[in-house]
Structure 1
Amino acid sequence: MEWKRLAVGPIQENTYILWNDKKEAVIFDPGAEGKKINARIEELGVKPLAILLTHAHFDHIGAVDAVRAKWNIPVYVHEFESDWLEDTNKNGSAHFSQNITAKPAEHMVAKGPLVIGDFTFDVLETPGHSPGSVSYYLKEANAVFSGDALFAGGIGRTDLYGGNQALLMKSIHDQLLTLPEETAVLSGHGFETTVGTEMDENPFLNGF
């Protein structure tokens, strides 16, 4: 398994391209700059199978339609945010005087296994940053795509629609910090880290 991280848009949101030995790929959170994302997919020579959304905030969905249309692939989002793609108030873009939307997702996800091609993800429900935030753990890649739940040295904000700090802390503790310490944490912003590093060094988690 290999992945590439692309920081896109004014908030430098992380879009990830994950692929296997068969060059099948999954795209996580295409947040902006659809042409840039599609060009990188072409450069890598991979075949996208799906778009997986960790959550439906505007900075994570801005290029959904461009990537979906280019590769004719479905979009997956948690059922709690099924209507957020079209709602600028819920996805937060209206809060920043923007109008960022996408067409509805084809599939809803919930806690448990998710099989796409030869990929088998463990969908971890990690609400708090938003009600439908999920993290996708792939044991074979020793990685978790955590969205905006957990960052290197930080945690997600909880002051937007549906945010809940106590719930976010519980999600991180119960769902993410219980993964193997060597697990790579691929966050929605910033650089990669590991579960063990965040357990030891993240100031927001000390004493939890």
Structure 2
Amino acid sequence: MSKMEIQYRVLGAIGTNVYFLINKETKETLLVDPADNAPYLLEQIKMRGYDMKAILLTHGHFDHIYAVNDLKKSLDVPVYAYADEAALMGDSWMNRSKAWAEAMTVTPDILLHDGDELDLAGFHIRVIHTPGHTAGSCCYYFEEEKILIAGDTLFYESYGRTDLDTGSEAAIMRSLREQLFLLPDDVEVYPGHGDSTTIGHEKKYNPAAF
């Protein structure tokens, strides 16, 4: 039985899935893509007794990072992001915050690379670089728990848009077909927007599979 509990909230202007990945044995917790409303997220952390260990970012668009800076003022935890995404996170035009809301940037504490392996909150995580939605998009694969945190790379019967800065249709197809669709069919996929799914379902019904 998995020791991971997944709680999520849908926050921000574009309805982003914000995930709490909780170690049921220790309450150690990872926060993925804090989209907005830092006061609410901090209230949830305090109320539920989460022992925060890190913030993981799948990519740098504003609707996945807007609460990061405010959270950092209260939480003494590192922010992880893919190395190729640092430039986009550091540019308010590229991360779209300047167009949608108040301009902001984020500077990650720890830069990741493809194949990096992390041990956080009692979980072993493999970083999978999945360019396409952005050049530095990545997914977090929890092999033991059979969980993939997919960001905006893979959605339920769909995939991320590729028409924004550093996006590439060809790259996202390679990421899906040569990386994610090679994972076991029973891996559960938790995307940045919309419903969860499985790798097996997406191999049958996702348009990128054909």
Is the TM-score greater than 0.5? yes
Give deviations 1:25-57, integer Å, cap 9, x for gaps.
111000111122222222321111110100011
Retained in 1: the 8 A contact 2:177–2:209? no
Aligned to 2:57: 53
- Taking the aligned partners of 2:113 and 2:177, their CA distance within structure 1 comes to 19
Taking the TM superposition and a 5 Å limit, the aligned residue runs for 1:138-157 are 138-157=142-161
- Taking the aligned partners of 2:191 and 2:50, their CA distance within structure 1 comes to 22
Aligned to 2:45: 41
Ranges in structure 2 where 5+ consecutive residues have no aligned partner: none
Retained in 1: the 8 A contact 2:30–2:121? no
In the TM superposition, residue 142 of structure 1 has moved relative to its aligned partner by 1.2
Aligned to 2:67: 63
Retained in 1: the 8 A contact 2:52–2:75? yes
Aligned to 2:186: 182
In the TM superposition, residue 186 of structure 1 has moved relative to its aligned partner by 0.4
Retained in 2: the 8 A contact 1:62–1:100? no
In the TM superposition, residue 6 of structure 1 has moved relative to its aligned partner by 0.8
1:138 to 1:161, Cα distance in 2 relative to 1, 3 A: same
- Taking the aligned partners of 1:162 and 1:150, their CA distance within structure 2 comes to 17
Residue 101 (structure 1) aligned with residue 104 (structure 2): yes
Ranges in structure 1 where 5+ consecutive residues have no aligned partner: none
Q: 2:8 aligns with which of 5, 13, 21?
A: 5
Q: 2:113 aligns with which of 92, 110, 115?
A: 110
Aligned to 1:134: 138
Retained in 2: the 8 A contact 1:13–1:60? yes
In the TM superposition, residue 67 of structure 1 has moved relative to its aligned partner by 2.0
Give deviations 1:129-170, integer Å, cap 9, x for gaps.
000000000012211000000001110000000000011011
TM-score (norm 2): 0.92
RMSD: 1.4
**What number of residue pairs does the alignment pair up?**
205
- One-letter code of the match for 2:193? H
- One-letter code of the match for 1:11? I
Give 4+ residue runs of structure 1 displaced > 4 Å after superposition: none
